[in-house]
Amino acid sequence: MVRDLSLRLGHWPWAAAWPLLIVVGFEAGLGLVQASSGNTLGTTGTYANRDHYAGLLEMILPFAAVYALSVLQANRGQFESQVVPALKASFLLAIAAVILVAIVLSLSRMGFLVALASLLVAGSVAFSLRTWRVEYRVEGRWWRKWMPTAIVSFVILLGLVFLPTDPLMARFADLAKSDKVPAEMRIQIWRDTAKLIKDYPLFGCGMGSYQSCFSRYKIVAPMNIVDYAHNDYLQVLAEAGVLAFAAGLLFVLRVFQRAVRGILYAHSIDERNVAIACVASMTAMLLHSFVDFNMYVPANALVFAWVTGIAGVNAGKRRPRKPGHVPQEDPEALG
């Protein structure tokens, strides 16, 4: 549905992302209000878990940041006012800043790391693309090609050092003990889950049955109930089996690959930047899924599906045969 809407709104490539920016901007603002009221355990917005709250924010952070860049890069006439675009870009950058601060205040370690990773991907691609591609040919000296990536990486490194608050640094320092599910326990859960996968390799133990089936293999935390594997990939493998897991993963990677092609072969600044935001957003969630179960939180799964829908507009685009050729839509691109 989102892909169809994005195709219908082809003249406004960012329109499908507006609802996400509005909702997540509200969630980030709510997190700041919670922090100002003296919350020391990490802000959660309307969520019950700070990691899942950070998972929502990290997916939309690239959209706010890259949208602002897109506004600044838009072609304008000589006599057009520069004030309105500047105000619009400033507003979007303010939303991005609020989202990033809310992620820091959530005290989610992985949320903070993957948020910076998504900004690294978005910034590196956005600022490097012009130096890498000139009329579909790679040109220029190597140091000019890599300089934007080096600068963005240095800025992200500074953020990694100076952005974390003292409570977040304390959580990194006490990695093994400060969580409800410590790192050592998660690793043992993954080992026990591997045994479950081994017994039900092809079709899994059934969607939604992880908790009941895992109790037979569980060695870790014998007095506690383990209802999630804290790793989306392992849990889908356990519940759906190798065949369904491979089908789902190939589909997501196909959309991801097409979004990357959309970056390279877009015929407008907005289309290119929307594709960059989608790639960075999907990268954040695919990384976070290694240590959490964001895909089993309906709100986060819905947002990820929304992002893949936006990215899906690139599924039918083919590589232009020559500069200036406009890619055509292929209705059978998604199979």
Tens-level pLDDT at each residue, the chain (335 residues): 999 998 888 788 899 999 999 999 999 999 999 999 887 788 898 999 999 999 999 999 999 999 999 888 876 655 567 788 889 999 999 999 999 999 999 999 999 999 999 999 999 888 876 544 434 444 556 556 678 788 888 888 998 888 888 888 888 877 655 555 666 778 888 888 899 999 888 998 888 888 888 888 888 767 777 888 889 999 999 999 999 999 999 999 999 999 998 888 887 888 899 999 999 999 999 999 998 899 999 999 999 999 999 998 877 666 655 544 444 444 444 44
In 10 A of CB 103, how many CB atoms?
29
134: left (phi over 0), alpha (psi -120 to 50) or beta: beta
**Which residues does residue 129 pair with via DSSP β-bridges, in sequence order?**
none
Q: CA 18 to CA 22: how far, in whole Å?
A: 6
Q: What pLDDT does residue 78 have?
A: 58
108 half-sphere exposure, CB direction, 13 A CA radius: 31
Query: Which of 129, 105, 103 has its CA nearest to residue 114?
Result: 103
Query: In 163-221, which residue ranges form alpha helices assigned H by DSSP?
Result: 166-173, 183-199, 210-214
Q: What pLDDT does residue 250 have?
A: 94
Tell me the per-residue pLDDT of 273-327, one tens digit each, with 9 for 90 and over. 999 999 999 999 999 999 889 999 999 999 999 999 999 887 766 665 554 444 4
Q: What pLDDT does residue 38 have?
A: 80
User: Which residues make Cβ contacts (< 8 Å) with residue 245, sequence separation at least 6?
Assistant: 233, 236, 237
Q: Are 252 and 308 within 8 A, CB to CB?
A: yes
Q: What pLDDT does residue 216 have?
A: 85
Length of the chain: 335
Q: What pLDDT does residue 317 have?
A: 62
Q: What pLDDT does residue 329 have?
A: 47
Q: What pLDDT does residue 213 have?
A: 87
Q: What pLDDT does residue 323 have?
A: 47
> CA quadruple 255, 58, 286, 189: dihedral positive or negative?
negative
Q: What pLDDT does residue 104 have?
A: 94
User: Which residues make Cβ contacts (< 8 Å) with residue 175, sequence separation at least 6?
Assistant: 109, 183
Q: CA 147 to CA 127: how far, in whole Å?
A: 9
Q: CA 115 to CA 281: how far, in whole Å?
A: 9
Q: 301-310 as b/e, with b when 16 or more CB fall inside 10 Å?
A: eebbebbbbb
Query: In 41-165, which residue ranges form alpha helices assigned H by DSSP?
Result: 50-73, 83-106, 109-132, 142-162
Q: What pLDDT does residue 310 have?
A: 93
Q: CA 144 to CA 129: how far, in whole Å?
A: 11
Q: What pLDDT does residue 183 have?
A: 66
